Amino acid sequence: MIDFEPSQSATAQRQAVHALAQSAMRPIAREYDEREHERPWDFIRVMWELARQMDAERGRRGEEAGLRRERTLSLVMTAEELAWGDAGLFICAPGPGLGGVAITAAGTPEQQKRFLGRFREGEPKWGAMAITEAHCGSDTAAIRTTAARDGDDWVLNGTKIFCTGGQMAAEHPGGFVVVWATVDKSAGRAGIKPFIVEAGTPGMKVLKVEDKLGIRASDTATLVFEDCRVPLSNILGDPEVTLEPAGFKGVMATFDASRPLVAAMAIGVGRAALDYLRDLLKEKGIPIRYGVAPTRLTALERDFMDMEADLHAARLLAWRAAWMIDQGLRNNLEASMAKAKAGLAAARITQKVVELLGPLGYSRDHPAEKWMRDAKINDIFEGTQQINMLIVARRILDYSSRELS
């Protein structure tokens, strides 16, 4: 039986995170949207301390079986609330990030302890993942960054673009970037392996930081690797090239774990826009009349209810994908469905809210235009809308990538 009813603990945590989003994120959201390349250090330290406290609390409670069974679902609910506060600030908060997701999905217990355990101590740290290259976006099998074994090291060479949080992960002590590279170009997908490159490693440098449309409080970096040496133990998974593309499957496993979180982020942004529209309409004496026959509803009410239904549908898909992770079930289809639905819903909802608000929606004196800009990235990163729809079609029709591309 599928039961999405959160426990009292998860519900209390969600309420606490919502209060944090309202008090610590909303007041500075516009400021750091305008000041894209400045980091909100006061907010970062608050989030770092909060994460450490929550981790310590889990340790004291021994993470009971009930908590373990809703770990990912709880993360998804938290992600929605923080994105409701501000998507850019949420992404710039310290933590292992997508790099941590990759290590959890493909790393050994020793690697997980070594690299993820550091996020419980010291100063704020970041993790990031570097996949995309200038010549290949969604076609990750076409990666050209190379990793060659030389004695006790792997030597990486190549350039990665659009690395979310890449600057913070590469430049701040204790951070790391998980870099996907090929150890054998002739092997195709089977030759692709993930490598952990720690912050400050010689040969890894930040070439540029993007000026972006949305999520501007976070950094998106281009990273260059020039004869960058990492220890042999920093590879995730089996270094051998076999017919079974284990490294590439690690990429996909990472996405299966991260896409529900990205979906939740989209839902948070869409919900922020809907909440704002509802409150503004209420101030003007225009309530949304539920329970009224469809023929008696205004066009505005029908639009609002359609957007609300879209948001609820996306949330249920995201929760199901997260629930499946907690149950140890493969969620490849469900993760892509959630990501595709939520990204599209958030983009449509925020654009419609701007449209319905008219000049107020287009004005930078109101946050609606910012939410429209922030929402679109959810339709692009972690697999574009088109790629996720393709994955859904392949899984439903039982086609391989060669048969349906």
Q: Note the pTM of the prediction, 2 decimals.
A: 0.92
pLDDT in the model for residue 175: 97
Residue 146: per-residue pLDDT: 96
d(CA 386, CA 138): 9
Query: Which pLDDT score, from 0 to 100, does residue 311 have?
Result: 97
Residues in the chain: 405
Residue 26: closest CA among 394, 371, 402, 389? 371
- Pairing relationship of beta strands 127-130 and 176-182 according to DSSP bridges: parallel
What would the DSSP string read from start to end of 26-89? HHHHHHHHHSTTS--HHHHHHHHHHHHHHHHHHHHHT--HHHHTTHHHHHHHHHHHHHHH-HHH
**Selected catalytic residue, list 70, 133, 198, 382:** 382
Task: Supply the pLDDT for residue 186.
Answer: 87
Q: What is the pLDDT of residue 188?
A: 83
Instruction: Give catalytic status of residue 64 as yes or no.
Output: no
The half-sphere exposure of 299 on its side-chain side, counting CA atoms within 13 A, is 2
Rounded Cα–Cα distance for residues 266 and 379 (Å)? 9
Q: What is the pLDDT of residue 44?
A: 97
pLDDT of residue 52: 83
Q: What is the pLDDT at residue 180?
A: 94
Q: How many Cβ atoms from other residues are within 10 Å of residue 260's Cβ? A: 30
CB 33 within 8 A of CB 91: no
**Predicted local confidence at residue 244, as pLDDT:** 56
| Residue-range domains of the chain with CATH | 8-120 (1.10.540.10), 127-244 (2.40.110.10), 247-397 (1.20.140.10)
User: What pLDDT shows up at residue 245?
Assistant: 56
**pLDDT values of the chain reduced to their tens digit, one per residue, 405 residues:** 456 677 788 888 889 999 999 999 999 999 999 999 999 999 999 999 988 887 776 666 555 545 556 788 989 999 999 999 999 999 999 999 999 989 988 899 999 999 999 988 899 999 999 999 998 877 777 899 999 999 999 999 999 999 999 999 999 999 999 999 999 988 888 889 999 999 999 999 999 999 999 999 999 999 999 999 999 999 998 787 765 555 556 566 778 889 999 999 999 999 999 999 999 999 999 999 999 998 999 999 999 999 999 999 999 999 999 999 999 999 999 999 999 999 999 999 999 999 999 999 999 999 999 999 999 999 999 888 898 999 999 999 998 878 887
